[in-house]
Structure 1
Amino acid sequence: MGDGRDDLAARLARVASKLTVAASLPGEAVMFGADSHRFRVGPALSEAAVIRFEERHRVEVPPDYRGFITRVGHGGPGRFGGAGPFYGLFCIDDWEWALLGNPDVTMLARPFPAEPGEVYEDWLAEAAPGDDDEPYRGTLPLSHQGCGDLSLLVVSGAARGRVAETHPGRQGPRFTEDPDFLSWYERWLDAVLAGERHFR
């Protein structure tokens, strides 16, 4: 049995292969948002660039996300970035998109207050009771879903590594079924390759 790095390398190779197939599909893209990025990603980031980001924000990005942006690709040609769910994957430097308050480089290191399975009567009031509290602290925005909703990667807190979606309602963010970023991303690719029009 290989170690976790071997497993991650195999997962990244599989995702890269599926992304290549998606980009070569004939005709117009049918998946919502794909006309923006056309299944293309920008060049991968260097490890040094990711380390600089982590040091600046005092946070470590989850290993599978780090592997994706350093080995598969980062950003891309779409209005909101490269190949990915909804309107595509944001660049890591777009870290402040989810924040409701003023950007502050300490925000990513502060624990995200939501956990899978939690129920809120009033998400914003419970997650950010103080005037200076930020409800979406501890998250990196992954993709723009339209109508102001975002997919987020939790980088600090109990749900670190999970993908959550913002929601304008009082119930607060909804966690996807996926255990990590790469599972979420590959599930999207599988939906693309199956000819589906929408991803949920």
Structure 2
Amino acid sequence: MIDQQWSGVRRRVGVLGALSGSSRVFGSHGHRWALDDPLAADGLAELEAQIGVRLPDEYRTFLTCVGAGGAGPAYGLFPVRRVQGRWRWEGDGADLADLSMLARPFPGHGPDPRDRDALLAVRPEEEGFDEIEDFDDAIEAWDERWHALVFAPERTAGAIVISHLGCAQREWLIISGTHRGTVWSDWRADDGDLVPLRDPAGEPVTFTRWYSDWLRQAELTAHQPPTNA
């Protein structure tokens, strides 16, 4: 049975992919407008039993009514697949999520700002070194400390990576804790942090809003007349 919020979505994606203008949609060359088959009920049950937590309702109904992944925001929605008897999400950076920690509440905050600011304050600068090799060694050591601070696995407990925007920027779906069901952007590769997506009214963006807004914008883009060079 199709959940009403997803009625017609799979068809719309197929129609959209057949339009000549669909190639103008950012990231479409990555997913090529293909959707995986939806998950069967027993597959979803097995997945949730493996990770030890029920997925947010909006996402779980998408998996069973639309598809297990594929065409979607940016370079596509990361598919969840059963590989050698175990379920996992696949995509560029999907392995950043620790599947053994998905039942733990997502913390919703970064490292102590004092620790973060203190580490940023001592980031090596090239002009402080006589030899480039010494600078390279110093910045490598600093990068290791930075990575350990901002990319600690505990930072993303209770969350899965669902999309890759390019340049190591990704989006996460929170599946446990008080932020459950919302989508967060990951700017840590650019010295930023994990931040919640918000709509124009300032409300957190949930999975349905995230996907539906993308689909509507993709349709508008594909139907626009081509611009003359």
Normalised to the residue count of structure 2, the TM-score between the two structures is: 0.66
Does residue 1:173 correspond to 2:194, yes or no? Answer: yes
**Contact 1:109–1:138 (8 Å) recurs in 2:** yes
Match of 2:76 among 43, 66, 88: 88
Contact 1:99 1:137 survives alignment (8 Å): no
* Change in CA separation of 1:167 and 1:26 when aligned onto 2, cut-off 3 Å: same
Larger radius of gyration: 2
Is structure 2 residue 13 aligned with structure 1 residue 19? Answer: yes
Q: 1:157 aligned to 174, 177, 183, which one?
A: 177
Structure with the largest fraction of helix: 2
On the 8 A contact 2:3/2:65 being kept in 1, the answer is no
Match of 2:137 in 1: none
Q: Could you say which residue in structure 1 is the equivalent of 2:165?
A: 145
Q: Which runs of 5+ in 1 are unaligned?
A: 76-81
For residues 84-105 of structure 1, give each alpha carbon's deviation from its aligned partner in whole angstroms, at most 9, with x where no partner exists: 11111111222794565xx754
Equivalent in 43, 50, 56 of residue 56 of structure 1: 50
Structure 1 residues 28 and 187, CA gap change in structure 2 (3 angstroms): closer
Please tell me the residue identity of whatever aligns with 1:187. D
CA contact (8 A) 1:153 1:162 kept: yes
Which digits, 9 at most, give the CA deviation of each residue in 1:30-88, with x for residues without a partner? 1111012221101111111111111111111111111111111123xxxxxx1011111
Instruction: Please give the secondary structure, in 2, of the residue aligned with 1:106.
Output: helix
TM-fit CA distance, 1:28: 5.2
Structure 2 CA distance for aligned equivalents of residues 17 and 174 of structure 1: 32
CA distance in 1 between counterparts of 2:194 and 2:53 reads: 21
Q: Distance in 2 between matches of 1:144 and 1:51?
A: 26
Query: Are the equivalent residues in 2 in contact too, given 1:84–1:188 (CA < 8 A)?
Result: yes
The CA deviation at 1:106 is 2.3
Please say if 1:185 is aligned against 2:208: no
| TM-score (norm. length: structure 1) | 0.75
Offset at 1:24? Answer: 2.4
1:24-35 equivalent positions in 2, closer than 5 A: 24-27=18-21, 29-35=23-29
Whether the aligned pair in 1 keeps the contact of 2:77 and 2:163 (CA below 8 Å) is yes
Paired residue total: 178
